[in-house]
Amino acid sequence: MKRRDFIQLAGMGAGAMMLPFPTFGNSVDASRLLDPFMDTARKKQLADIVLNTTKALGASYTDVRIGRYLNQSVVTREKRVQGVQNSESFGAGIRVIANGTWGFAASNDVTPDGIKKTAERAVAIAKANSKFQKEPVKLAQTPPYGEVSWRTPIVKNGFEVPVKDKVDLLLNANAKAMENGASFVNSMLFLINEQKYFASSEGSYIDQDIFRIWPNFSVSRIDRASGQFKNRSAFSAPVGMGYEYLDGKAEDKIQGPGGVILYNNSYDIVEDATLAAEQSKEMIAAKSVEPGKYDLVLEPSHLWLTIHESVGHPTELDRVLGYEANFAGTSFLTLDKWQSKNFKFGNDIVNFVADKTQPGSLGAVGYDDEGVKCKQWDLIKDGVLVNYQAIRDQVSILGQNESHGCCYSQSWSDVQFQRMPNVSLQPGKNRLTPEQLISNVDKGIYIVKDGSFSIDQQRYNFQFGGVLFFEIKNGKIAGMLKDVAYQANTQEFWNSCKQICDERDYRLNGAFNDGKGQPSQSNAVSHGSATTHFSGVNVINTARTI
């Protein structure tokens, strides 16, 4: 076993426990997660205390977020349960503008007296900060929505499903993987419920109930004769859905090129773990790739990560301006490129849309965390950079007067700021299946599922790996490859985009835990695409570079 493979395997269990769960709050019994939250009338009463208090103290703007955040994780390995964790966090965060300056304070004392004191502290902080503020905060206008609500359209609340049922499902998946030759297997299930109440001095009272779920596993096989080791992760996508995602409906299964079974809208973890064990054997026996230039056919479960890193992060306005560099650096997409109105980010067929409304996506909500109704907007249009991701106190920099609605905070105790919405590559306009696309490739590689990656601090030069790789010869799949990674720069790569399959092949994948900020916060975001063809991309052999 190679050292890097051992480290990857050893990190699976530890990494799972770091995924999307805030460190605040208390561990609780699972039944507590079903306790009713305070009613809307009570939340409005508390919000009005905040709004009246801050207005009396001279704040020109106030918003308050009263939130309850529920998390559950179930983690198993082979025949054992490694951990079941339930957490609940409840409190209020208050943000104000006083003397033209932001102030923020938060507390878990959500009583009339406690929330009034927190409001007073937020105003005091703003006034203290104003001594150093050079220009007053400018907020884009947003209409008052009155009393409104939004809920993730789930069928089955995962928190109401007994933990035993979840454990049985994961252990069944583990057993099937072991029966089919896996050396060992980790499986896990994460559930999140954000119950958020937002109120502002502009007249909005917004109640939202948001659900996300992510089943995952890692199947590993060791060939002791050769000392080789391969790992195959789950083909699941984290989604903004309920427990119905795990129903694994037959109509949601997709037979992909190379005998790969993919999933859309629902997921069969037992079937996928069984196939993973079988494919891990093929992965070990696969031919090692010959370095060189190849056409790449990238399946959505792989392409989402390349989109996230090379398109999602560099179009965040705070990175463009250099205000933010944590986790992902700044951006090569500087304002002069946007102002030119002709910066060729990609080929003419490349269109990227930002969206906070797409059903089933991780980023889907009705309103963002500063009370802006969510929408869809263009980032890249016909290959040209046309916009960024910006919130209420940023859009004036672009000469725009309406927020894009992509402000988010991971909890009541963290201040909200600009976070990535769903950023997706739009499907091709001509009818085209993955099989038809592959038939147009003479020398290429079909890549399924995301793997390791590296990208520079300007989001420009990058390298991406994957999980499954299939050689394409003269328009046909010619067998499995291994040790594959591709290198390019962002502009070169997206300008090499040659064909995109149509909307029938469009699927969502995404990140449950996109990090940003200092102190750091975690955000969940989806990226959609159809299978896409890139020409003449440099491929390296990762086994020969060590």
**Mind listing the pLDDT tens digit for each residue in 23-57?**
334 566 777 667 777 899 999 999 999 999 999 99
Which residue type, as a one-letter code, is found at position 38?
A: M
pLDDT of residue 227: 85
* Tokens describing residue 107: 């507390």
How is 245-274 classified by DSSP, letter by letter?
A: GGG--GGGEEE-GGG-EEESSS--HHHHHH
Domain regions of the chain by residue span? 3-213+237-243, 288-544
Q: Are 185 and 220 in contact (CB under 8 A)?
A: yes
| Mean pLDDT of the 429-448 span | 97
Residue 17: pLDDT over 70 = no
In the chain, % of residues over pLDDT 70? 94
pLDDT of residue 545: 54
Q: Residue 124, by phi and psi: left (phi above 0), alpha (psi -120 to 50) or beta?
A: alpha
Give the residue, 163 or 228, on which the prediction is more confident: 163
Q: How many whole angstroms separate alpha carbon 491 and alpha carbon 260?
A: 30
**What is the residue-averaged pLDDT of the chain?**
93
Peptide bond preceding 519: is omega within 30 degrees of 0, i.e. cis?
A: yes
Q: How many whole angstroms separate alpha carbon 67 and alpha carbon 85?
A: 20
Q: What is the DSSP letter of 234?
A: -
Q: How many whole angstroms separate alpha carbon 400 and alpha carbon 378?
A: 14
Closest CA to 289 of 452, 537, 469: 469
For 458-474, how does the pLDDT look when each residue is reduced to its tens digit (9 = 90+)? 999 999 999 999 999 99
pLDDT of residue 27: 62
For 90-149, how does the pLDDT look when each residue is reduced to its tens digit (9 = 90+)? 999 999 999 999 999 999 999 999 999 999 999 999 999 999 998 999 999 999 999 999
Distances (CA, A) of 191 to 86, 153, 188, 195, 356: 10, 15, 10, 13, 20
Instruction: Decide: pTM greater than 0.75.
Output: yes
Q: How many whole angstroms separate alpha carbon 281 and alpha carbon 295?
A: 26
What is the longest distance spanned by two Cα atoms in the chain?
Answer: 76
| Mean pLDDT of the 238-266 span | 95
pLDDT of residue 3: 34
Backbone angles phi, psi at 484, to 5 degrees: -105, 135
Q: Compute the half-sphere exposure of residue 379: CA atoms within 13 Å on the CB side of its CA.
A: 30
Backbone angles phi, psi at 163, to 5 degrees: -60, -35
**Please, what CATH class does the domain formed by 3-213+237-243 belong to?**
alpha beta
Q: How many whole angstroms separate alpha carbon 516 and alpha carbon 420?
A: 10
Q: How confident is the model at residue 225 (pLDDT cuts 50, 70, 90)?
A: confident
pLDDT of residue 12: 39
pLDDT of residue 37: 75
Residue 422: pLDDT over 90 = yes
- For residue 101, the cross-strand partners are 98
- Local structure of 403: helix, strand or coil: coil
Q: How confident is the model at residue 503 (pLDDT cuts 50, 70, 90)?
A: very high
Closest CA to 343 of 331, 354, 356: 331
For 507-538, how does the pLDDT look when each residue is reduced to its tens digit (9 = 90+)? 999 999 999 998 999 999 999 999 999 999 99
For 362-386, how does the pLDDT look when each residue is reduced to its tens digit (9 = 90+)? 999 999 999 999 999 999 999 999 9
Give the pairing type, strands 146-151 and 204-223. Answer: parallel
pLDDT of residue 192: 98
pLDDT of residue 5: 38
Q: How confident is the model at residue 10 (pLDDT cuts 50, 70, 90)?
A: very low
Closest CA to 540 of 439, 468, 445: 445
No. of H helices and E strands in the chain?
A: 10, 26
Cβ atoms within 10 A of the Cβ of 457, count? 13
* Tokens describing residue 195: 């119950």
* Tokens describing residue 4: 């890097």
- Local structure of 319: helix, strand or coil: helix
Residue 446: pLDDT over 60 = yes
In the chain, % of residues over pLDDT 90? 90
